[in-house]
Every structure is written in structure tokens, then in C-alpha cells.
């Protein structure tokens, strides 16, 4: 039961006491009438109080089915985690935490109203724990307000490289490619650099005296020739048809 529900019951109980007092004053010479009315009010209140959890469970189960149907209709190609499936104390009946299965650390809270209308009422996020998942923080970098169905496909991880704290991601952002560099350390991480490029088979950038090369799976060559800004040319061996990140000291 939510704190608001308890407050509601206290309010109803206080109102009922006022009604009982008024009835007692009106029928002060007819004590049996006062007793009958008071007893009926107390019994009705008690039945509703003890039946309330079961009512909430039924409402939540019905809302879950309605939400599942809504998600299937609105986002037929996506898969979601939806909790809680069963009514739980501390969560209002009809409220659900939802996330796309590909972004388990970020999602929304949705509410199914009595008229079957589904609305987003909040967003939520969990700290990213795995080094290979910190790229998901870029969803906030590109979007101030996260909404279900929006930005799930805006950013896709295509390649990944790590060396200790040094972490590099090859990403697709809309129709562009991007290289994102993170510093991952115990207790947190920080975005060091992100750079977008027009879509190509191969893109590169320089970070902290290192050449970072992002090769998409569209590339068919086994050797790459990279021309640096200073005119120097680097030759790199790669695996054809495989998304990958190459890191080379300058």
C-alpha cells in the first residue's frame, strides 16, 4: 500500500467519524438507529480496507495486459523488460518500469490510467557497471529527455576496444559514424572524447598521441592506408568484413 493510500484511508476514516458524530447528534434519542448506521459504516470501511490489496492486484494485472498490448502495437519490432508483472507494495497499481532489452540501464516509468490510456510519467537510469556498456551514457549526451521508443536506435555499438582504463567504442549515430573514448576506473568513468564522421567504411582520429581507427563490417580490404594530417601514411592490417577498432601509437 502506497503512503498516499494510507493517507486516503485516514482521511476517509476521519470523515466517517464525523458522520457518526453527526448521526449520533441527529438521532440522540434513537440510539438503536445510531448504532445500526455506525455499525454499517464501520463494517463497510473494514471490508474495503482489507479488500484493497486484492483490488489493487486485479487492477495491476489488468493494466499489465493493457500495457503489453500497447507496446506490441506501438513498437512491434522492439523487445522490452516490464516490471513488476505482479502488484508489489510500494508501487502504485498500474505503474511499470520499462526498458528496451538492449539498454538495461536506462528506461521509463509508465502508467496505465483507468481509461486504458498509457502515459510516460518519469525516466530512470542505473549506473553502468560493465566497461563494455558505458557507451549507453551517450544517450543522455544526445538527448536531454529520454522517451520510450525514442533514441533506442539512435546510437548503436558496432565495435569495442579496451586496454586497462582506456576504452574506445565504434558507434553508429543516426547515419553517421563516431569514435567515443572513455576513461573507465574503479567507481566510475568519464567521456574523454567523441567525434562524429560522415558514414564511410573506415574512419580515424587521434587521441593522446594515439591513432584510433574504426573499421566497419562494410570494409572488404585486408590492408588499410591511413593518411595523417601531417602527411605521414600508416599501413594497417585488418580483418575484412568485421567491425573493429585499431589503436596504434604515433
Model pLDDT, residue 69: 93
Between the CA atoms of 148, 151, 152 and 156, what dihedral angle is there, to the nearest 10 degrees?
-170
Model pLDDT, residue 66: 94
Bridge partners of residue 160, in order along the sequence: 169
And the C-alpha cell for 80? 522490452
pLDDT greater than 60 at residue 139:
yes
**Omega cis (within 30) before 84:** yes
Grouping H, G, I as helix, E, B as strand and the rest as coil, residue 155 is: strand
pTM over 0.75: no
Q: What is the pLDDT of residues 146-184, one digit of tens each?
A: 667 655 457 888 999 988 889 999 999 888 899 999 988
Q: What is the pLDDT of residues 177-191, one digit of tens each?
A: 999 999 888 767 888
Bridge partners of residue 189, in order along the sequence: 184
According to DSSP, residue 175 is labeled T
Q: What is the pLDDT of residues 203-228, one digit of tens each?
A: 888 888 889 999 999 888 888 888 88
Which whole number is the average pLDDT over 122-136?
A: 78
Model pLDDT, residue 71: 92
- 223: burial class by Cβ within 10 Å (0-12, 13-18, 19+)? exposed
- Helices 31-74 and 3-26 pack at an angle, to 10 degrees, of 150
- Which are the contacts of 21, defined by CB distance < 8 A and separation ≥ 6? none
Amino acid at each position: 500500500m502506497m503512503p498516499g493510500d494510507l493517507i486516503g484511508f485516514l482521511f476517509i476514516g476521519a470523515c466517517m467519524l464525523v458522520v457518526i458524530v453527526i448521526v449520533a447528534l441527529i438521532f440522540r434519542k434513537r440510539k438503536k438507529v445510531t448504532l445500526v448506521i455506525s455499525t454499517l459504516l464501520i463494517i463497510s470501511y473494514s471490508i474495503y480496507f482489507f479488500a484493497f490489496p486484492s483490488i489493487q492486484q486485479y487492477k495491476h494485472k489488468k493494466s499489465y495486459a493493457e500495457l503489453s498490448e500497447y507496446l506490441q502495437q506501438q513498437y512491434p519490432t522492439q523487445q522490452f523488460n516490464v516490471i513488476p508483472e505482479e502488484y508489489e507494495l510500494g508501487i502504485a497499481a498500474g505503474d511499470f518500469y520499462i526498458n528496451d532489452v538492449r539498454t538495461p540501464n536506462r528506461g521509463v516509468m509508465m502508467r496505465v490510467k483507468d481509461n486504458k490510456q498509457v502515459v510516460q510519467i518519469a525516466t530512470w537510469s542505473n549506473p553502468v557497471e560493465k566497461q563494455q556498456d558505458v557507451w549507453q551514457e551517450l544517450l543522455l549526451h544526445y538527448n536531454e529527455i529520454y522517451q520510450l521508443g525514442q533514441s533506442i536506435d539512435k546510437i548503436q555499438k558496432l565495435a569495442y576496444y579496451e586496454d586497462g582504463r582506456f576504452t574506445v567504442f565504434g558507434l553508429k549515430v543516426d547515419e553517421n559514424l563516431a569514435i567515443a573514448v572513455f576513461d573507465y576506473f574503479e567507481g566510475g568513468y568519464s567521456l574523454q572524447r567523441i567525434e562524429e564522421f560522415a558514414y564511410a567504411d573506415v574512419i580515424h582520429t587521434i587521441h593522446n598521441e594515439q591513432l584510433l581507427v574504426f573499421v566497419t563490417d562494410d570494409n572488404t580490404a585486408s590492408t588499410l592506408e591511413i593518411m595523417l594530417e601531417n602527411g605521414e601514411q600508416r599501413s594497417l592490417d585488418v580483418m575484412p568484413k568485421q567491425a573493429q577498432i585499431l589503436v596504434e601509437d604515433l
